[in-house]
Amino acid sequence: MLHLEFMTDLGARVTVDVESADKLLDVQRHYGRLGWTSGEIPTGGYQFPLDNETDFDWTLIGARRWTNPEGEEMVIHRGHAYRRRELEAVDSRKMKLPAAVKFSRGAKSTDPEHVREKSDGEFEYVTLAIFRGGKRQERYAIPGNRAQGAPQSATRPAPAPRPSPRPAAAQVEEETPF
Amino acid sequence: MLHLEFMTDLGARVTVDVESADKLLDVQRHYGRLGWTSGEIPTGGYQFPLDNETDFDWTLIGARRWTNPEGEEMVIHRGHAYRRRELEAVDSRKMKLPAAVKFSRGAKSTDPEHVREKSDGEFEYVTLAIFRGGKRQERYAIPGNRAQGAPQSATRPAPAPRPSPRPAAAQVEEETPF
Amino acid sequence: MLHLEFMTDLGARVTVDVESADKLLDVQRHYGRLGWTSGEIPTGGYQFPLDNETDFDWTLIGARRWTNPEGEEMVIHRGHAYRRRELEAVDSRKMKLPAAVKFSRGAKSTDPEHVREKSDGEFEYVTLAIFRGGKRQERYAIPGNRAQGAPQSATRPAPAPRPSPRPAAAQVEEETPF
Amino acid sequence: MLHLEFMTDLGARVTVDVESADKLLDVQRHYGRLGWTSGEIPTGGYQFPLDNETDFDWTLIGARRWTNPEGEEMVIHRGHAYRRRELEAVDSRKMKLPAAVKFSRGAKSTDPEHVREKSDGEFEYVTLAIFRGGKRQERYAIPGNRAQGAPQSATRPAPAPRPSPRPAAAQVEEETPF
Amino acid sequence: MLHLEFMTDLGARVTVDVESADKLLDVQRHYGRLGWTSGEIPTGGYQFPLDNETDFDWTLIGARRWTNPEGEEMVIHRGHAYRRRELEAVDSRKMKLPAAVKFSRGAKSTDPEHVREKSDGEFEYVTLAIFRGGKRQERYAIPGNRAQGAPQSATRPAPAPRPSPRPAAAQVEEETPF
């Protein structure tokens, strides 16, 4: 028997019994659909393989995709809207980085210090997840390959030059659909 | 079987067994009536749809409505009194924000840094909950539509201009009924 | 079934099963007598009604009354000695505060920032509990009205002018009986 | 049924079921012998009566006595070596302190702020435990009065003048036997 | 019955029931192979005996060995790559330190203050584990002495002079295989 700790959509602390380890992701999907989360966002954000990005099952971490009124692809997680950004590969003498997709948002005054990442100038942002490198893991995909209205990679805008954390406009952050 | 963690009105840490997930809100209401809370106030405050405000069941988060001697609508949560404020919609070039109702209080010297929000000048405040946008969720309402003496929206004062976090007068914060 | 989390007098983390919610305070009293505590002191201290002060059952929060060699009324909680102080009512244009009884101690170098309260000048103190206003709650009283050697309100010294957090002399803080 | 939370010698979080409250110290001794600890060191260190010092059962807090190559009495707790120091009684107009035995070590760069205590000059130290005043508690003693090779009080060096937290030499702190 | 708390590879909080204390390390190995960890890295890093280094079972702490494209020996733990460094013994008048093997990485902007260790100049690093002194503990070894493709000590590069925390190049930290 396993016991899985959640924070519900209302912020309550709930533990759910799980029969066996192989049922764990199912239970995370089930409650994640309600916006329940388990644990904190790792510092620097969740790390997933790039090849998992197009059909990643966001319910695994209590999040969901959302297209904002301006048509931008975003992800909602615990009431915060994170914007999808494509980062080009970097191959200079100083840095060597494979291409990546990052979901991040501008930092708010109430964000604790350790989740804030510095960008150019004064701007600070918070990363929910980064998809980069690695080997696709089937267990992270939406079961049955049903894309469930998720934006397709075919519709990806041209990648922005790195570093490209454009501040999410205040109105978007605030208009988060509940 | 689920297990719901509470902090009692006396500050003790108690876990309560809950038969099934659909009983969860009932149990939160039951103990919330005693002032028990589960989890912490999310940074920036709880977020609820605006249309849930008039008959929101504050027992869900261990709080209750209170009208102070001056006739102001407030909410008591863990011994702190939060004042109800109406925020007008903003529609400028820089910001676009729908109307909202916010429950907040002036920050105290013992409030940790990450819950303090800056306002005009030196004043800092703490938000319990904000009702804005979204779609009404029936499960957040007082069961049976019994308003239980809660102030009606008809009695709402005229909305204050944004930003309007007037510091809650010291005597009100302190006179919190137990 | 409920589960009550304690920190024992030795600082160990122990959870105790409790049959039903109405047995909760009994169990807190039982282990509180051994100096076990559940949860942390709320920021700003526990808040209780003033009318509960004379026969308050300190075992509910793992504390006990103690009269120091100088005859001063104190309360011992987790190895710290808190001095009893009476605060007069304040009724000025700027502040309106009912009379209160406060149990506080001088801050130590190892006290975390968020429990320290500023006083006049450089002095900082930590509050265990404040009794003010509210309505007496019978369940907080020593069962059977046995005062158990607790100091009577008749012996109260004249209230000190507010704010009156006299620093607890170093020797008293240190001489804490084990 | 009680449930006792430990951090194992490997840093893992483990809860152990305990039949009844009177078995609690036995279980703490059993796992403490393996270096398992429950809870954190209280700020300012554990406080015990002075008369418990000679035969104190360090397994109660997951520690053990150790004599370093230089013949100094120390205590090992979670990989840190704490040096034994005798503090003379102080009886001045400003301070009145009974004699004490303290186990402390020099602070390391990775020690969090709230465990560091200031000494003369720049030196900072961390206290594991202080034995002072109080009344001997039999339950803290090594069962059966077997001293188990612990240094006897007869071999105590002359007490150092107060305050005497000599910085533990770097090599001793580092040479901690595993 | 024991209960072992994990953070899964997805960051979820899960407790696993364990039949008896002697099965504990087996269960840690089993889930550690999936990247699950229990508890936090101790401040200053895990401490193990030097003689355990060559066949240390990294699954015990949810980590695994990895040889990077440049042929360097590293360890992956919760998405971070730690570089293996050999530290020569120091025997000066000021310090006396036995030889050690350390696994550390450069600090990132999101690392909390208390895990950062200062080095020469501005550079800060984070230690996962240090192998030094002590007596080999068989229970920490890979069961059955199967080295499982782990780099052999025969291939060790010449030890670097102390202190030698070379900053892990940005590209290596970032190219962490998932």
pLDDT, tens digit, 9 for 90 and up, residues D44-87: 899 999 999 999 999 999 999 999 888 999 999 999 999 999 99
Q: Name the residue among D78, D174, D177 with its Cβ closest to that of E97.
A: D174
In the prediction, which pLDDT does D144 show?
Answer: 81
The three-point CA angle B164-B165-B168 to 5° equals 135
Q: Residue A95 has what pLDDT?
A: 75
Q: How confident is the model at residue C22 (pLDDT cuts 50, 70, 90)?
A: very high
Which position has the higher pLDDT, D95 or B42? Answer: B42
Q: What residue ranges in B55-165 does DSSP mark as E strands?
A: 63-67, 73-77, 80-87, 90-91, 96-97, 100-106, 117-118, 124-132
Burial of B99 (0-12, 13-18, 19+ CB in 10 A): middle
If residue D27 lies in a helix (H) or strand (E), which one and from where to where? helix D24-32
How confident is the model over A85-143, as pLDDT tens digits? Answer: 999 998 888 777 899 999 999 988 778 777 788 776 678 899 999 999 889 999 999 99
pLDDT in tens, E67-83: 988 899 999 999 999 99
pLDDT of residue E82: 97
Do A39 and E11 lie within an 8 Å CB cutoff?
Answer: yes
pLDDT tens, C142-177? 998 655 444 444 444 444 444 433 333 333 333 333
Phi, psi of E177 (to 5 degrees): -65, 145
Nearest to E14 among A3, A94, A132 (CB): A3
Q: What is the largest CA-CA distance in chain C?
A: 51
Return the pLDDT at A69: 86
* Cα–Cα–Cα angle for D90, D95, D97, rounded to 5 degrees: 45
**What is residue B22's DSSP assignment?**
G
Give the C-side interface with D, CB within 8 Å. Answer: 3, 7-8, 10-17, 31, 78-79, 108-112, 170-171, 174-178
* Confidence label for B108 from pLDDT (cuts 50, 70 and 90): confident
Q: Do C178 and D137 touch (CB under 8 A)?
A: yes
Asked whether at least 3 C-beta pairs link E and C within 8 Å, the reply is no
Nearest to C13 among D38, D98, D133 (CB): D38
Tell me the pLDDT band of C97, cut-offs 50, 70 and 90: confident
* Mean pLDDT computed over A144-156: 50
DSSP codes of every residue in C112-143: -GGG-EE-STT-EEEEEEEEESS---GGGBPG
Give the H/E segment covering residue E75.
Answer: strand E73-77
Q: How many CB atoms lie within 10 A of CB B16?
A: 20
pLDDT bracket for residue C111 (50, 70, 90):
confident
Verify whether the Cβ–Cβ distance B14 to C5 is below 8 Å: yes
Q: What pLDDT does residue B120 have?
A: 67
Do the chains contact at C171 and D117, CB–CB below 8 Å?
no
Rounded CA-CA distance B79/B37 in Å is: 12
pLDDT > 60? residue D177: no
Round the average pLDDT of chain C to a whole number and report it.
Answer: 82
pLDDT of residue B146: 53
* Contacts of A27 by beta carbon, 8 Å cutoff, 6+ apart: A4, A16, A18
Residue B156, CA distances (Å) to A131, B2, B5 in order: 48, 40, 35
CA distance B108 to chain A (A): 16
pLDDT(B31) > 50 = yes
Specify whether the CB–CB gap between E127 and E102 falls below 8 A: yes
Q: How far is B178 from chain A (nearest CA, A)?
A: 23
Residue E170 has pLDDT above 80, yes or no: no
The rounded distance, in Å, linking the Cα atoms of B4 and B25 is 10
Instruction: Indicate whether E61 pLDDT > 50.
Output: yes
Task: Look at B42-46, B52-56, B160-164, E42-46 and tell me which has the smallest mean pLDDT.
Answer: B160-164
C-alpha torsion B129→B132→B137→B140, nearest 10: 20
Whole-model pTM: value is 0.82
Alpha-carbon distance of A140 to A155, in angstroms, equals: 21
Residue C69 identity:
P
Contact E4 D13 (CB under 8 A): yes
Q: Compare E34 and E118 and report the one with higher pLDDT.
A: E34
User: What is the distance in angstroms between the Cα of E103 and the nearest Cα belonging to chain A?
Assistant: 20
Cβ within 8 Å, pair D96-C175: yes
Whether the per-residue pLDDT at E25 is higher than 80: the answer is yes
Q: Residue D123: its pLDDT value, please?
A: 82
Q: Which of E94, E116, E133 sits opposite D178 (nearest CB)?
A: E133
Which pLDDT score is estimated for E118?
77
pLDDT of residue B7: 98
Q: Does C12 score more than 60 pLDDT?
A: yes
Residues in chain A: 178
Q: With a cut of 50, say whether residue A156 has pLDDT above it.
A: no
Q: Name the average pLDDT for chain A.
A: 82
Higher pLDDT, A154 or E115: E115
- Which of B118 and D164 is assigned the larger pLDDT? B118
The answer to whether C4 contacts B17, with C-beta atoms less than 8 Å apart, is no
Q: Do B13 and C49 touch (CB under 8 A)?
A: no
Which residue in D110, D170, D174 is closest to E115 by CB distance?
A: D110
Do D13 and E5 count as a contact with CB atoms less than 8 A apart? Answer: yes
Q: What are D's interface residues with E at a Cβ cutoff of 8 A?
A: 3, 7-8, 10-17, 31, 78-79, 108-112, 170-171, 174-178
List the one residue out of D14, D19, D47 whose CA is nearest residue D128: D47
B contacts of A178 (beta carbons < 8 Å):
47-49, 133-135, 137
Min Cα–Cα distance to chain B from C83, Å: 20
Q: How confident is the model at residue B170 (pLDDT cuts 50, 70, 90)?
A: very low
Q: Is the pLDDT of residue D37 over 80?
A: yes
Nearest CA in chain C to D6: C13
Q: What is the pLDDT of residues D79-138, one digit of tens each?
A: 999 999 999 998 888 777 899 999 999 988 778 777 778 776 678 899 999 999 889 999
Under 8 Å CB pairs connecting chains C and D tally to: 85
Across chain D, mean pLDDT equals 82
Q: Please report the pLDDT score of residue E129 as a whole number.
A: 97
Indicate the SS3 state at residue E129: strand
R_g of chain A, CA atoms, integer Å:
17
Structure token digits, residue D112: 């969090």
pLDDT confidence bin for D165, thresholds 50/70/90:
very low
CB D168 within 8 A of CB D68: no
Q: How far apart, in Å, are the Cα atoms of C54 and each of B164, C44, D131, E162?
A: 42, 21, 33, 65
Task: Say whether D110 and E117 touch across the interface (CB within 8 A).
Answer: yes
pLDDT grade for A162, boundaries at 50, 70 and 90: very low
Distance CA D148, CA D66 (A): 12
- pLDDT over 60 at A178, yes or no: no
pLDDT at residue E150 is higher than 90? no
Instruction: Verify whether the Cβ–Cβ distance E177 to A134 is below 8 Å.
Output: yes
More confident call, E36 vs D95: E36
Q: Which other chains touch chain C, taking contact as 3+ CB pairs less than 8 Å apart?
A: B, D
The pair of three-digit structure tokens given for residue A72, joined into one six-digit string: 């931008």
DSSP annotation of C82 reads E
Q: Which residues of A touch E79 (CB under 8 A)?
A: 42, 44, 47
Q: Which residues of C touch B2 (CB under 8 A)?
A: none
Q: What is the chain C residue with the closest CA to D5?
A: C13
**What are the E-state strand segments in chain D?**
2-7, 13-18, 46-48, 63-67, 73-77, 80-87, 90-91, 96-97, 100-106, 117-118, 124-132
Q: How far is C79 from C62, CA to CA, in rounded Å?
A: 11
Contact D28 C14 (CB under 8 A): no
- How many CB atoms sit inside 10 A of residue A169's CB? 17
Asked which of B157-161, C64-68, E77-81 is least confident by mean pLDDT, the reply is B157-161
Regarding predicted confidence, which is higher, A120 or A55?
A55
pLDDT of residue E9: 94
Lowest mean pLDDT among A45-54, A73-82, B25-34, C90-99: C90-99
Name residue E77's amino acid: H
Residues A79-95 as b or e (16 or more Cβ within 10 Å = b): bbbbbbbbbeebeeeee
Distance, in Å, from the CA atom of D47 to the CA atom of D167, rounded to the nearest integer, reads 21
Lowest pLDDT segment from C21-25, E34-38, E79-83, E113-117:
E113-117
Distance from CA of E72 to the nearest CA of D (A): 26
Please report residues of E whose CB lies closer than 8 A to that of A21: 16, 31
**What mean pLDDT comes out for the span E113-120?**
75
